[in-house]
Structure 1
């Protein structure tokens, strides 16, 4: 378990719901990944992410799916691609990423609380 944090610490992490609008294989990445373009609604807009999720997902499977992502980390250069948000997931029994998503439709840009 990680160190305890305060509720104020938690509030600093801005986790929002977005919808995958575009997804492409990212073969030039060091580890297998998929490039994602995610719409977070009017206030945040479209943001990009490189996600190492190739064990359970293929680009065509992700189109239109809602995901949760941290939107207030600084951008990170992944090879030739600038990743702007961190898509969230949890490990399956083999340690492979399973994406976190709402189980009902949620308005784009909705913040986790």
Structure 2
């Protein structure tokens, strides 16, 4: 919840009606119309409220730790992910080895590139 002192009048009214009075969105829109003389849609008010909550979001320690873990996962696995996106796996028919089937991945190339080679090439680019 944002501190009311740092909000303008409209934002303060919105937060008060939504959080303190717990009014439904239609009622909040009606109050805006009555108190401010502005006709504002429910969707507009909801978006304003969402932006305010995002702007004043408090990062708790568990949020920061989750962010760290996600970043570490990305750092550890990013070249595996990139390798999977730019490679094509070869599958062979067990009945006829000469008949090779190709499974295209999203950005397919002719053969699978190991993640370490993807990382090395990226460093060269």
TM, length-normalised to structure 1: 0.20
TM, length-normalised to structure 2: 0.19
Find the structure with the greater CA-based Rg: 2
Structure with higher RCO (Cα < 8 A, 6+ apart)? 1
Decide which structure has greater strand share.
1
